[in-house]
């Protein structure tokens, strides 16, 4: 074990609006040692920050990992629309980003059809050895769009949006 290496990547955020609030998570250990604990962002804030980057960067966005992360979150986790909407609103306000009134360029069909973006996605898929990844860029963006657009639209129209996201979608009425 002296030469065993385990890579752990940590992103540190400062000054962000964390919604609904940070929480402590313990990491499992192989040996019988105390489990390290770290303050974590809630998944709703991760969604909000990646969504804000997609809106802010528009067509110029080359951050394929943001699309991948949102795809994984939408594929594997449940969400409450109130918490997602609140996190998006807080993040956009904190970063002084205007909420989009229509589908942002980074989630539009023209973005999916852009040969450069398709090439960037294929390179991202090839470079990363994720155990789970959607190789079809269009399917990835369409799932992300179906996940983030209803909360975004509710914030710009002031319509109440009370639904639950089930892993893989779509948003559904509670109960």
**DSSP, residue by residue, 106-133:** GGSHHHHH-HHHHHHHHHHHHH---SS-
Determine the pLDDT at residue 108: 97
Decide if 37 contacts 27 (C-beta within 8 A). yes
Determine the pLDDT at residue 125: 94
Mean residue pLDDT of the chain comes to: 92
Determine, yes or no, domain membership for 86.
yes
> In terms of Cα–Cα distance, which of 154, 157, 152, 55 is closest to 105?
55
Has residue 135 got a pLDDT over 70? yes
Determine, yes or no, domain membership for 84.
yes
Q: Using 50, 70 and 90 to split pLDDT, how confident is the model at 130?
A: confident
Taking residues 84-105, report their average pLDDT.
97
Q: Which of 19-33, 51-65, 133-147 has the lowest mean pLDDT?
A: 19-33
| Domain count along the chain | 1
Determine the pLDDT at residue 14: 78
Determine, yes or no, domain membership for 99.
yes
Tens-place pLDDT, residues 18-51: 888 888 999 888 888 899 898 888 999 999 999 9
> In terms of Cα–Cα distance, which of 4, 6, 124 is closest to 69?
124
Distance CA 64, CA 133 (A): 12
Determine, yes or no, domain membership for 30.
no
Query: Residue 8 contacts by C-beta under 8 Å, 6 or more apart in sequence?
Result: none
Determine the pLDDT at residue 58: 94
Determine, yes or no, domain membership for 68.
yes
Placement of tokens 């940070």 in the chain: 22
Helix axes 64-76, 115-127, angle to 10 degrees: 70
Exposure on the CB side of residue 3, measured as CA atoms within 13 A: 0
Taking residues 110-121, report their average pLDDT.
97
Determine, yes or no, domain membership for 106.
yes
Q: In which domain, by residue range, is 84 found? A: 42-172
Determine the pLDDT at residue 36: 86
Q: Using 50, 70 and 90 to split pLDDT, how confident is the model at 1?
A: low
- Ramachandran angles phi, psi of 169, nearest 5°: 80, 175
> In terms of Cα–Cα distance, which of 158, 152, 171, 48 is closest to 101?
152
Placement of tokens 């040996």 in the chain: 31
Query: Residue 12 contacts by C-beta under 8 Å, 6 or more apart in sequence?
Result: none
Distance CA 99, CA 40 (A): 26
Determine the pLDDT at residue 149: 98
Determine, yes or no, domain membership for 32.
no
> What's the predicted TM-score (pTM) here?
0.88
Q: Using 50, 70 and 90 to split pLDDT, how confident is the model at 167?
A: very high
Taking residues 51-72, report their average pLDDT.
96
Q: Using 50, 70 and 90 to split pLDDT, how confident is the model at 102?
A: very high
Determine, yes or no, domain membership for 54.
yes
């Amino acid at each position: 074990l002296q030469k065993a290496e385990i890579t752990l990547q940590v992103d540190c955020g400062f000054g962000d609006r964390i919604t609904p609030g940070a929480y402590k998570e313990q990491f499992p250990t192989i040996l019988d040692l105390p489990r390290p604990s770290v303050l974590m962002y809630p998944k709703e804030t991760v969604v909000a920050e990646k969504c804000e980057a997609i809106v802010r960067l528009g067509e110029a966005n080359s951050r394929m990992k943001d699309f991948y992360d949102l795809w994984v979150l939408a594929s594997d986790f449940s969400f409450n629309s109130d918490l997602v909407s609140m996190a998006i609103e807080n993040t956009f306000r904190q970063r002084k980003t205007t909420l989009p009134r229509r589908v942002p360029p980074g989630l539009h069909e023209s973005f999916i059809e852009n040969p450069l973006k398709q090439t960037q996605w294929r390179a991202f898929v090839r470079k990363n050895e994720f155990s789970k990844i959607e190789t079809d860029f269009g399917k990835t963006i369409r799932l992300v769009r179906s996940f983030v657009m209803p909360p975004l639209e509710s914030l710009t129209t002031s319509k109440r949006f009370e639904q639950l996201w089930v892993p893989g979608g779509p948003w559904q009425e509670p109960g």
